[in-house]
Structures are given as structure tokens and as C-alpha cells.
Chains A and B, each alone.
Chain A
Amino acid sequence: MTSKHSQTNPSLWELMLDHMRHNRVLLVLSILGNFLASCAGYLFWSSNHDFKRLLWQNAPTLTDLQRAELMAGYMTSYLQEYNIILQLFILIPGAVLLVMIGFRYLFNRRMVDLYHSMPVTRSKRFLALWLCGFLIWFVPFLAGSLFLLIAGCVRIGMWSCCGVFIQTWIKVTLMLILGFLAVYHLCLVAVFLSGNIFSALMNILFLGLFTIGAYVMMTAYMSCFFDTYTYYEPAWLTDLAMLLSPLGAPAWLFNALFITPTEQATPLLIGTVIVCGVNLGLALLLHEKRPSELAEKGLDLKPLRILFRFLLSLLCGFALALIFCQNTSRSVVFWMLFGGILGFVVAFCITNAVYHASMRELFAHKLQLAVGLVFFIGVSLFCRYDLAGYDRYIAPENTLQGVAIYTFTQADAGHYYLYDGTAFVQNTDVYNSLAMVQRGEPLTTDPAAIQRLLTTLVQENETWQALPRDAYTMDFRDSCEEFYVRVDTSFGSYYRRYQSHISADELIMDYLVSDTYKEQHYPLSTGLYPDPAYIHGFDLNGNEYYITDATLIHSIYAAYQEDFNRTYTRGRLTGRHAERTLYDLDFYFTKPMRSQRGNTLTSALTLQLQMYEDYTATIATLRQALSGNAWTMEDVTIRRLDISFSLQKDTPEEYLGLVPRGEQDDPSTTGVVEVVTSRRYSLTIHDAETLSQLQPYLRIASYGASECADGYVYIGQAYINDNSILRCYIKQGAMPQELVEKLSVGGEERLQ
């Protein structure tokens, strides 16, 4: 024996260098991608015209410190919003490419022969390739991020203002690394299970998105087939679906951490770290145990092959069934089943071919296909006919602990008080605290009362469901109230959406007008919004105003609360019969806020409160504060009134007492012009006398008001000066006879 045969095994560094040599293309792509992202980022925040204009407009009044703070805030928000979105576009495909190319030898029998015959353990090779892949992404990424950090600090210009920016940079960088690893490890698992590129891609999609797909499909199916289904899924279910779908986890995590921060961010972060670690362990194990002969095959593990194929086919089946349902009618079971079976069979055959890496296997496993189809059809019919009694379900009385009710408008975030929360983009804690009211104390905890309420609601709902589908018209909807109910039981809470006829309103009104409900849903008196900095808004003439005097602000705020409490009626609550709104009052808060749970919020917010016609105290206070502004319809001068409306299908032409006559836009004409094809009517009034006669009857129309409903007639647009246009309506029956006749020559029926 000669010394020639004595060999020392390669070090980790040597293996990494060797791997790097054979994957130069990845390094080039990574450098290029990150470089372009840095350029795009730089161009983005250096050419933001809005921000530039803001700086320019305020330049004379801004001190250097204020300018630096403004810049720091801007750069920080860029870092945690657009920068993350930009990075996600590199991070996710980057991780997929790094694994697919870095471990491509696993897909090639010849390469496997070469790699696995070399004197190195699989774990060492895995570590080398893992590190190499990570570094190929990380080094250019870090360089780009450092460039952003330095450029940001230079741009802020004042070291003392860079603190938050640097902190955010560190957090964002760490989170992006975690996001990369989440996707990277998922891809490793998917690739190690596969023998070829198609199977690997399918596994990445399956493992990466299946739980999100299943979650979406579950909610879509439930909302399609169960009339009482609400989207109030527990947050943990959504988080779990996202966490177990590592392709979605980074985006979900970044959203929860930076874009719309929620209290779920920390558990989500911990969950992502755990999932990331578990996937790494799994990847290592699979790499160790992966048989070399798997190369060029599909998915070799039979149990996994069956499971993945079944779940994928099921998901596709449900998706296609739903599409066919939506495009036809959900009552047509045939089309639903047709779509579902088609989707299931196609997906089953494709997965067959991919997982067996052979087109010959396209129609294999007929027994599994048959069993899967039976399962799919069973579940579909089970949902379609509500065989489990989901819509009729009432928890046993001995488990009932409480019930809470939310009206449609609030549940739909339609009420301004809650709706405003969605505008709190920089104050998501406030929004979350507002949303928390939906998880507030129950209105009653008497099991017998809850049982009675639920029984009535279920019966009401069944009555509604029993109606023929043709009966489900807008008029029918207008005669119903829709609201959500949260039922607390000893085994947890569940939500349902019920519809009830107006006649049954008494059932819930007791709850809706109770102090408990009011306090939970309109937390004006909870001290959540202390000391607004100023009020901003537009009056009816369209003039912008600011109120900065603290005493005035407090008196307006107090008047608003007084009006709110005074007008808190059933009509206001349900949003059906509310008086029309006048305009919005924007309260600006710049001091730290306190949330309902006592957390101190640091950033400023805007609270937009809606003014109604009958908020007399607020209007009076506003008039006192800014006497020159127009606060009610009486304060404005109308120069022109465009009346236009269209009649609905079954509305008689005489509905308004207006019949077609004359030419459009002729100043001398006071008649109505009909566009016959669409039954749209229009009238323009310039005549000062007529306008002054009409003005007392005109009311401000809120957006979204239906044209011919609820006893109001939508009129059109009032031009009150060169810049301002108001949408108006006239309450049906409010106009005097002579004015109706003047407007509608020849009409028998009148606008009464």
C-alpha cells in the first residue's frame, strides 16, 4: 500500500466553494435582483412627488429638526411597507430558485451517482448547500439593505432622528431573513420529497399554499351554502392556515408586524420560527434518508403520494364546483357536481402523471379516484342541503353563556364609527380596539332568554329561506334587518348571520337600545379619544376649515356626544331609516392615545365622525365657532339644480308626477326630458325664483342612498358655487302642490 490512498475529507468551506463554483448563475441572479431592488427602492423614495411637495410647501415653516423628523417618518414607513413588498418579490422566487437549482442534482440520476459516490456525508453536503444557498441570497440582500440604511440616514440628515429608522431597519431585516428561511425550508422539504422538477414544483405549491387554499375554500363553501354563515372565523384559524402555508407566512407576518400591526404579531412570529425550524429538521431528515434511486421519479413515498393527490384533487374539485355554482345557480346541483367532478378528475389525473413521472399513469388508481369522488360528492351534497343543520343550529341551553348582537351596518364596517377604523392606517391599534367591541361583553347571559332569542331568530331565518328565490328582491331586503349574533357557550363562541323582518325588530331592539350595547359599540365616553388637536373639514360650500382652539374643540366634541346620545334611536342603529348625513367632522389627535385595553398608542390618528341633519347642538356650536360658513342647506345659495333620476322596472311613470316634455338643458324649460331607452329622466333648473322656492325642501343626500326608496326621492346635484356640488333629495310628499305642478306639466300623480 502506498501513501497515495490516504485521503482527507473535504472541509465545509471547500464544499461550499465547490458548490458556489457550480452555481455562479444563482449568485449573479441574486446580485442582479437585489441591486435592481435597491435601485427601484432608491428611485421610489427619492422621487415621491407627494412627499416632495409636502416638504416644499412646509419648507418655510419647518425647522431642520422637524424636517429631519418628517424625513425619518417617511423613510421608516417606506422601509416597513413598500420595501417589504419589493423584497417579497425577490425573496419568494429567490428561495424557490436557490433550492431548485442548488439541489438540482437530486433530479438527475447521473448527478446523484456522482454526488453520492463522493466521500462526504449527506449531512455535511446538506449543510454546505444550505449555507451556500442562504449566503447567495443573504450577502447581496444585506449589501442592498445596508445601502438603504446608509442612504436613509444620509437623507434624514440628523443622527438624533435616525433612531427609529435604524431600529425599524434591524427589525425589517431580521423579519426578511426569517421570511426567506420560511420559504427556503419549505422548498427544501418539497424538493427532497421529489424526484423531478415537476413533482418538486407541485409539492412546493401544495405544501406552500394548500392550507390557505383549504381555508379560502372552506369559507367560500360555507358562505355559498349556509345562509347564516359569517366570516367571523377565529383569528387563530386564519393564522394557522397562513403559518402552515409557508409561502403565505412571510406576507402574513409582515402585515401583522408592520403594515397593520395586530396583537397576533408575536404569536405569529413565534409560530413562524417554529414552523421554520420544524421544516429545517424535516428537510435534514429527508435529505439523510432520501434514497438515491428516487432521482428522475416523481413522489416516491406512497402514503404521501396518495394523501397529496387526494387533497389536491379535492381542493380543485371544490374550487371548480364553486365556480360552476356561481356561474349558474347554486340551486342547480347538477352543475355544481359537474364542475366538481370535472375538477377532481382532472386534478387527480394530472397529479397521477406528475407524481409517477409518467403519462402512462394518467388514468391509474381508478379505485382511489372513485373513493375520492364519492367523498367529494358526499361533502358537496352535505353542504348543499345543510344535512348537519348548520343554519338551524342552536347550542344546548345548558351550555349557553351569553349572546351579543351586531347590526348589519356595524358588522359590515358600514357605520362611520367603525368604518373610520379602517382609515386608521397609522393607528391600527385603535382600529383593533374598535374591532374588539365585537368581542365585548354579552348583552344577556340568561340561558333561557338566549334560547328564546335564538329559536325565534332561527325560525325567522327559516321563513326567509323558505321563500322562493324570486322573492329575494331589493324591496324584500329593505323590509328585513340583517345582523350578526355571537353566541357564547361553555365550549367557545360561534357567530351567525340572521335576517329578520322589520316586524320582528322588537325582538332585538331591546338589546340594541340598551346602555350596554351603546357603550360597547359607541365608545365615546370611554376616554379613548381625549383632547383632539384640531378639527378639520369642509363646510357645505366646500370651504376647508380648521378649528384649533381647544375650548371650541371641546365644546364641539361635547355637543357631538350630546347629539349622539339624544338621537340614538332604532333608525340610527340599524342604519335603515337614518336621517341623511350632512358632512364629516375630522378630529385630529396628535398626542399618545390610550386604547380600551389601556395600551398607550404613540402615533397620531384621525377620527372621522359623521354629522346628521338633526345634530342641532353640534351645528349650533359649529355656527358659533365659524359663523361665516355654511352648515345647513339654508346657508347655501344654489345657482343651478340638476334633477335626474331613473325609474326602476316596476315603478309607474306617474310615480313622481313628472312626465316627459321639452328639451334638455334649455334654461327656459322646466319640464322633464326622458331618455326612453333607459327610463332616465333629467331636468335642469337655472331659474332663481324656482330655485328659491325649491331650496327649503332640499336635503343633503348621503352617498349610497337609493334613488326611490324609503320615502325619499333622489333629486340630483345642486351647484352652490363654482367649486362645490351637493347631492340632494326631497322627502316624498314634502313639496307643495303648486311647485309639483310647476315642475311636472301634465302629470296626474304628484310628487306627494
Chain B
Amino acid sequence: MIEIQNITKKFEDITALNAVSARIEEGQVFGLIGTNGAGKSTLMRTICGIYEPDDGQILIDGCLVYENPAAKSKLFYISDDQYFFSGTCLDMVRYYKTYYPAFDTERFRSLMGTLKLSPDRKVNTFSKGMKKQLSVMLGICSGAKYLLCDETFDGLDPVIRQAIKRLFIKELAEHSLTPIIASHNLRELEDICDHVGLLHNGGILLSKDLADMKLGIFKLQCVLQADAQLEEIRQAFPILQLARRGSLLTLTLRGNSADITALQAKLQPVFWELLPLTLEEIFISETEVQGYDFKALTN
């Protein structure tokens, strides 16, 4: 388990992470989502022990990570722009094998074959997407327990993306690999993540199971009999978003579906439809609550 406890990281005058706390359990795919500049990469680097936090601590299976090789050997970090030495893929394997003795070279060859990449090919002849694939292969075969992927799906074609997602799930099942995926592309994470941490302006807004998150937040489209009924809804559930088009109201509510259905029975609205939210909508709603003004960006 990775425990992030009140991590603060500043770069001169900029506070990249501000008292961030989260917990990443083993055996799940953790999605770290956030706006640009929210601090996702900083948090990933801090988890890996690249950055030393100014405050707080990060524990990997109960051990501090910074300058702790035992804890760091359980992590494999794939940055958004991974560095490769000049040489072939196998040269990179040799490098990682020095630090991860449990590196499975045979499996690496096999996976590379599956993805139709030649292990003997020079890395600098690879495209951006191929380099991403290579880094994921290296991470999976390293034998590390936690695989930290920063914007890893960027630049991958849909087929490879799905293949890698399947690979993650397979590794999770067979080797207890815990992928931690940082991305701003919520659709990519929606179908793979079990747990999501939402990072905004250097702080974690929420960290929940995706299923719970989807259960606890809904989009309601309704036409009420009277405007006063809106006040009743407001009193019953926290409204994250409200949009009005004529008499049609679109609300994003926090609550459970049973309570909302009970309210429908009570109010007897003209029209009432409860819709599940996509992860993107949840993300937008939560960040807007925290003052992230999307409308201002688009106007």
C-alpha cells in the first residue's frame, strides 16, 4: 500500500502540492486525474522518491520512500517523456536489470513480440508511441509491485491502448501489479481504474472507488411543477451544478439513487430522469465546486 500523508512540495514560490493525502491500495488500478498543472507529475515523482517532499511523508508498504532503495525497488516510474540511452531495447533491459534483478527478460521478449516490436532495434529509431509501449513493457517486466505511469496512454493508438489496458488487468490478476496512472484524459481511465484520485491545484479533492463515485453523484433532468420545488431539492441534496433551459432543469446532485427516487415520488414532477455521470462530468463538477471555472475558459 502506498500512503501519501500530507505531502507538500514547493518550487520556489509555487506550491505544487499542498498537504496532499491519499492511500493507494494494492491490487487495484489507481487513476490520478487532474487539471493541467494540478500537480499530478509532481505527486508521481514524489511517490517515486525523485522529489523530496518539503513536508509530509510517503510510505511504501510502511517504509519511507525517499532515499530508500528497498521501498523504491517496489516502484517503477514511467515518466511522460521517458529517457532512453542510445542503444537497443535490450541495452535498456540490461540497464534496468542492474536495478531490478527480478527483471523478466524472456517475458519482455515475448511481450515485445506480441506488440510487434523488435528488441534488437535501436530505441532512437522508435516513434513516440513505440517508446511508450517499450517503457510500459519494461515496467511490467521489471518485477516492481507498483507501476507509476505518467500520461502513458498519450500517443498510443486505440488498439495498443486497449492491449495495454488488458495487460495491466492481467498483470494485476496474475502478479498483483498495481498500476497508478496519471492522466487528464478521463475517458482513458474510466474503463480501467478501480479507484480515482482527483487532484486540483495541488490538493486532492477526492479519492474514491470509481463505482462509489458514480453511485454517489447523479445528473438529474427534470421539469418541476413549481420553482419552489427546486428549493426542496436543494435542501435534500447538495447540488453541484444547475443549468436551466426554459423549464427544463439539469442538476448534478450528490446523493444515492433511492433517496432521489423517493423525492421524485414526493414532488410529482412533470418530467424526471436520473442519468449516470461520466467520469469527465464528475471531474468537471467537482472541480467547478472548487472554483475551477470552465465557462470562463470557453468564453
Contacts and interface: CB of A to CB of B under 8 A. Distances in A.
B51 A118 contact: no
B70 A5 contact: no
Given A22-B85, A113-B50, A116-B50, A7 B100 contact: yes
A2 B176 contact: yes
Contacts of B51: 291-293
B238 interface: no
A388 interface: no
B72 A117 contact: yes
B157 to A, nearest CB: 23
B253 to A, nearest CB: 41
B176 A15 contact: no
B75 interface: yes
Contact of B67 (A17, A110, A122): A122
A10 B95 CA distance: 11
Contacts of B98: 10, 14-15, 17-18
Contacts of B145: 1, 5
Contacts of A116: 48-50
Interface string B76-112: 1101011101000001001100111110100000000
A112 interface: yes
Contact of B83 (A15, A108, A124, A293): A108
A7 B83 contact: no
Interface string A1-35: 11011111110001101100110000000000000
B50 A7 contact: no
A292 B175 CA distance: 31
Residue from A1, A5, A9, A17 with most neighbouring chain B CB atoms (10 Å): A5
Contacts of B100: 7, 119
A7 B73 contact: yes
Contacts of A6: 102
Residue from A6, A7, A10, A120 with most neighbouring chain B CB atoms (10 Å): A7
Given A4-B102, A122-B67, A9 B73 contact: yes
A111 interface: yes
Contacts of B49: 116-117
Contacts of A113: 45, 50, 77, 79, 82-83
Given A110-B81, A113-B45, A293-B51, A119 B11 contact: no
A7 B101 contact: yes
A121 B74 contact: no
B175 A110 contact: no
Contacts of A118: 72, 99
B74 A110 contact: no
A114 interface: yes
B69 A120 contact: yes
A111 B70 CA distance: 21
B52 interface: yes
B7 interface: no
B144 interface: yes
A688 B229 CA distance: 142
A626 B71 CA distance: 93
A8 B101 CA distance: 7
Nearest to A116: B50
Residue from A1, A8, A111, A118 with most neighbouring chain B CB atoms (10 Å): A118
Nearest to A110: B83
B143 interface: yes
Given A5-B144, A7-B102, A114-B82, A121 B69 contact: yes
Interface of chain B: mostly helix, strand, loop or mixed: loop
Residue from B74, B76, B85, B98 with most neighbouring chain A CB atoms (10 Å): B98
Contacts of A21: 91, 94-95
A4 B175 contact: yes
Interface residues of A, number: 32
Contact of B73 (A18, A119, A122): A119
Given A21-B94, A118-B99, A9 B69 contact: yes
A91 B213 CA distance: 64
A106 to B, nearest CB: 13
Given A116-B50, A117-B49, A117-B77, A5 B69 contact: no
Residue from A117, A120, A122 with most neighbouring chain B CB atoms (10 Å): A117
A114 B143 CA distance: 17
A112 B102 contact: no
Nearest to A7: B73
Contacts of A5: 74, 102, 143-145, 176
Contacts of A117: 45, 48-50, 72, 75-77
Nearest to B48: A117
Interface in B147-172: none
A111 B86 CA distance: 12
A721 B51 CA distance: 86
Interface in B13-71: 45, 48-52, 67, 69-71
B64 to A, nearest CB: 13
Nearest to B141: A4
Interface string A278-314: 0000000000000111000000000000000000000
A18 B45 contact: no
Nearest to A18: B98
Given A2-B176, A7-B102, A112 B50 contact: yes
Nearest to B72: A119
Contacts of A121: 67, 69
A18 B97 CA distance: 10
B170 to A, nearest CB: 14
Residue from B50, B51, B82, B175 with most neighbouring chain A CB atoms (10 Å): B50
A103 to B, nearest CB: 15
A119 B74 CA distance: 8
Residue from B48, B49, B71, B99 with most neighbouring chain A CB atoms (10 Å): B99
Contacts of B67: 121-122
Given A7-B102, A108-B83, A116-B49, A18 B72 contact: no
Contacts of A10: 98-99, 101
Nearest to B50: A116
A8 B104 CA distance: 14
Contact of B79 (A9, A15, A110, A293): A110
List 7 A-B pairs, minimum CB-CB distance, nearest first.
A119-B73, A110-B83, A119-B72, A7-B73, A117-B77, A119-B69, A116-B50
Given A6-B102, A121-B67, A124-B69, 20 more contacts: A1-B145, A4-B175, A5-B74, A5-B144, A7-B101, A7-B144, A9-B73, A14-B98, A21-B91, A110-B83, A114-B79, A116-B50, A117-B45, A117-B75, A117-B76, A119-B100, A120-B72, A121-B69, A291-B52, A293-B51
Interface of B: 11, 45, 48-52, 67, 69-77, 79, 81-83, 85, 91, 94-95, 98-102, 104, 143-145, 175-176
29 contacts: A1-B145, A2-B175, A4-B104, A5-B145, A7-B73, A9-B99, A10-B98, A10-B101, A15-B98, A18-B95, A21-B91, A21-B95, A110-B83, A113-B79, A113-B83, A114-B79, A114-B82, A116-B48, A117-B50, A117-B77, A118-B72, A118-B99, A119-B71, A119-B72, A119-B99, A119-B100, A120-B72, A120-B99, A293-B11
